[in-house]
Structure 1
């Protein structure tokens, strides 16, 4: 690859890209869980959750593309295999098919994990004066915080 001169030194670019790889892995894992739950949700809230989960996995599908493209912009290969995502993600796989309430709780925790991962990347981007990565990560944080709030609201009685 040719020399990259975008005003961010190589060490910072690599550190940010590494953090973004974790964000990508968390986001993709959450995408898969959300899509799985969309297919398999049952119960009294079926229609509401089925539609909500579809909206969420569609948003995540767009987000993973943006994150992967930012990693490439920084001059690093983006991970793209289940094996790589499993190694990089802080979100654990779910065995079986949980009930609707458990799905909501699992996805809430997943969105909260993505926010925590994003906060770590945001610090790196801000320290390196990488406004493009910081903006992307900040936008992702806001979306995941909002989604976690909406999911938590479903569980309040």
Structure 2
């Protein structure tokens, strides 16, 4: 009903239900107005302090560094991320490797599309030239069968000559 009164979605009413809005809305001191009643909020803040203290200075605490394999190094070079293999650092984040792999995959897809279109054009041109020369499959098959019949007749004649 409150969502209908405020002309908003039920998300707002759910937020207002989870906060201490109704408890502090009538009070004169409105400072802790939107404090959430979740039990783990203070623990989460404490763990963030501990994690930030244990993380190496100047580095992100959620950065996942790993050693790139030889194939991943080649991909990093093909993607244009680094100029030489010596420029690649020992540890890279997985996001950098993932972006490089996506770039190489997209380039391979573009190359495949271009080669497919080129192959289609070559087949169209060669088909039109064959049609002009009257090189149809029907004519080629008829010539091949006529040749086989002629060879079979010469073999039969050779067998008949040997028999006499």
Fold-level match, TM-score > 0.5?
no
Which structure carries more helix by proportion?
1
Larger Rg: 2
Please tell me the TM-score bracket, short chain as reference.
Answer: under 0.3
Length-normalised TM-score, structure 2: 0.24
